Structure 1
Amino acid sequence: MTAPAVSPKAHHRGGLLLWFAVLGGAIAWALHLAAAWSTDELACFAGHHEISGTPLYVVITLMVVIPGVIALAALGTALLVRHRTSGTAVEEGRPDGTRRDRTRLLATVGIWANLLFVAIIAFDGVAVVVIPQCRS
């Protein structure tokens, strides 16, 4: 029995989803780190307590929540990929067995990495939101 043919477009989309599952949390954390802390410091340095009429507290909170949601989406994608590659018996000599094993390994790495980045964003978010902005 041969595996069903996969269109190049579907194959490309699957590859992008796998990369999002592995790297999405790391990219979300990097964006959070650059945006939240720098916005806080630059706004306070300039003496502002709001950005475009929005209180600084709300802007900083959004810069924590949005990357957190992205990291959770990457975690969910990694869990979905791992679930879809589990329970499949790989027959000896089947050419897609190695690809499936590699995909499962990357999904597992994505799960653990995204759990770590969700925790980092959450703890860092607590620090950014709880520590008073513009102390002076």
Structure 2
Amino acid sequence: MGAHPGPRARLTGGLLLWYAVLGGALAWAVHLFGAWGVDELTCAGGSERVGAVSLRLVVALAVVLPALATVGALLAAALVWRRTSPPQPGEDRSLGRSRMLAVLGIWSNLLFLTIIVLGGAALLVLPPCQR
């Protein structure tokens, strides 16, 4: 083996792997503070508008954008998983770790996508600023 990692190792490491594993969790945090926080603060101020924009539109964006980021992280995790085969004896163990992290990313991103969609449904179905 040479001193430089092959294309499989480069693909499975670095930022792509971090995004594949943590992308859904970060997107959920953005959704939580964005959608729920804006809803609560706007309603506490006695308004149903955020500047010149409807509260419902702002909440919809705070649901759709994090959901899209989570789908991207899910696809990245699936790509890493597909590009890493189960490690053979004597093969570089970092590929095995990358594969395990990809599986973790797939399942966690599915969980976070479900949480974002269901939380967003609650925000978008229920009328804003219920008293």
Provide the TM-score with structure 1 as the length reference: 0.86
Distance 1:31 1:105 in 2: 26
Q: CA deviation at 1:65?
A: 0.3
**1:46 and 2:41 correspond:** no
- Structure 1: gaps of 5 or more residues: none
Provide the TM-score with structure 2 as the length reference: 0.89
Distance 1:13 1:109 in 2: 14
Is contact 2:74-2:110 (8 Å) kept? yes
Choose which of 110, 114, 124 in structure 1 pairs with 2:109.
Answer: 114
Alignment of structure 1 residues 117-128 onto 2, 5 Å: 117-128=112-123
Q: CA deviation at 1:6?
A: 3.4
> Paired residue for 2:34?
35
> Paired residue for 1:100?
95
| Number of aligned residues | 129
Is contact 2:87-2:96 (8 Å) kept? no
Q: CA deviation at 1:89?
A: 6.1
RMSD: 2.2
Distance 1:103 1:3 in 2: 20
Q: Give the SS at the match of 1:48.
A: coil
Deviation track 1:67-105 (CA, whole Å, cap 9, x = no partner) reads: 00001000000000000002x663x333x2x11100000
Residues 23-32 or 10-19, more deviating: 10-19
> Paired residue for 2:20?
21
**1:59 and 2:54 correspond:** no
Q: Give the SS at the match of 1:71.
A: helix
Percent identity of paired positions between Structure 1 and Structure 2: 46
